[in-house]
Amino acid sequence: MDRSDQRQRGTATSPENPGPALCSAPASASAPAASAPATASSANNLRKEIRIWTRDLLIAIGLALVIIVFLYQPVKVEGTSMAPLLSDQERIFINKFVYRFEPIQRGDVVVFWYPLDHSKSFIKRVVGLPGETVELRQGTLYINGKVVPEPYVPPQYEDNSDYAPKVVPPDHFFVLGDHRISSNDSRVFGMVASEYIYGRAVFAYWPVDHFGSLETTEASSK
């Protein structure tokens, strides 16, 4: 947020002339000399205020760059496994440090190193937490035997296949793509170790019609 010092400018006034009215000519002749310092003072104030605004703007830009470089990372989405939330070639920001201060939660859209090839990164949604039993019955998600509604999965993207109950190991997570019928996820490559998860998707910035937060949709269990 930009902040600037605002200074109220004083109004310059010319001193009254105590001489008689007959001396009006000399009085009017001295007026330009009196206004010159006032004009110079106004110009100095303007230059000083411009310098303050410029300084504050540069500080704000510098802080923004530091935050983006050290806290957030821009990434490009490849594929459609997280549609309709994310589309192919979409640009987003991920928070690289959030999980140093808070735990991974169900519903988080996370970026992680692909367990079968650590040179690749995947982006999926966390649906199963450590110690929980995850199951899919005709596409419906069950956690510990209870149905978990998933409003982020449109009917046309549902996968009606089954997945036998499995317990998520300690420090691991079960992840799924929102586009279930075309997603390579934990149903295929297994659970994801917490050490492989390095960020949470927080904001989409391109294309402009997708501009906005990505942290508004969460799964909830009944």
Rounded Cα distance, 118 and 133, in Å: 26
Contact 17, 27 (CB under 8 A): yes
Asked whether 157 and 178 are in contact (CB, 8 A), the reply is yes
Classify burial at 84, counting beta carbons within 10 Å of its beta carbon; exposed 0-12, middle 13-18, buried 19 or more.
middle
Catalytic residue among 14, 42, 76, 81: 81
Residue 212 gets which letter from DSSP?
Answer: E
Q: Which of 114, 148, 143 is nearest to 128 (CA)?
A: 143
Q: Choose, from 28, 35, 121, 124, the residue flagged as catalytic.
A: 124
Is 76 labeled as catalytic in the residue annotation? no
Phi, psi for residue 188 in degrees, rounded to 5:
-105, -55
Amino acid, res. 67: I
DSSP string for 102-168: S---TT-EEEEE-TT-TTSEEEEEEEE-TT-EEEEETTEEEETTEE---TTS-GGG-----EEEEEP
120 catalytic residue (yes or no): no
Residues that are catalytic: 81, 124
